Amino acid sequence: MSLARAALLTVLLALVACGPVRPTDPDDDDASDEENPEDLDGDGYCPDTECEDDDLTPGDCDDNDSTSHADAEELCDGVDNDCDERIDEDFDADQDGYVDQFGEGCLSNFSSEELDCNDQIAAINPGAD
């Protein structure tokens, strides 16, 4: 009887010792070991005007895209990369909504029919009559 109890106790202790695996860093002082809910894309920027995590910088307009944040470079890709609420502003000099056909990288993200053949005159663009 006592031997069986001892065996049972041993099994129980083993179960406790081998319980569910806990995160290795439960106090969350190192963002690298688990996903940070304030920074889903891991670019170091949070979507809010203030970040609870001191390691993060505010100003992420797309927390699912690590190429979009407040200090990103604007790319010619139809996305607001630098989070100033303007899309591809560096590639649309005449502000008609069509990026310059000679803009760096534009041709790889847009078809030639979508590109502005004259980015100095807003009346001239692929959508004009």
C-alpha angle with apex 51: 81 to 21, nearest 5 degrees? 105
Task: Please report how close the Cβ of residue 60 comes to Ca ion at its closest, in angstroms.
Answer: 4
Task: Please report how close the Cβ of residue 37 comes to Ca ion at its closest, in angstroms.
Answer: 14
DSSP-based three-state secondary structure for 114: helix
The contacts of residue 103 (CB under 8 Å, 6+ apart) are 76, 88, 90, 91, 115, 119
Give whichever of 79 and 107 is closer to Ca ion, judged by the CB atom: 79
Task: Please report how close the Cβ of residue 30 comes to Ca ion at its closest, in angstroms.
Answer: 20
Site of interaction with Ca ion (CB under 5 A)? 41, 43, 60, 62, 65, 68-69, 74-75, 77, 79-82, 84, 86, 88, 92, 94, 96, 98, 116, 119
Which residue in the shown chain puts its C-beta closest to Ca ion? 116
State the CB neighbour count (10 A cutoff) for residue 25.
12
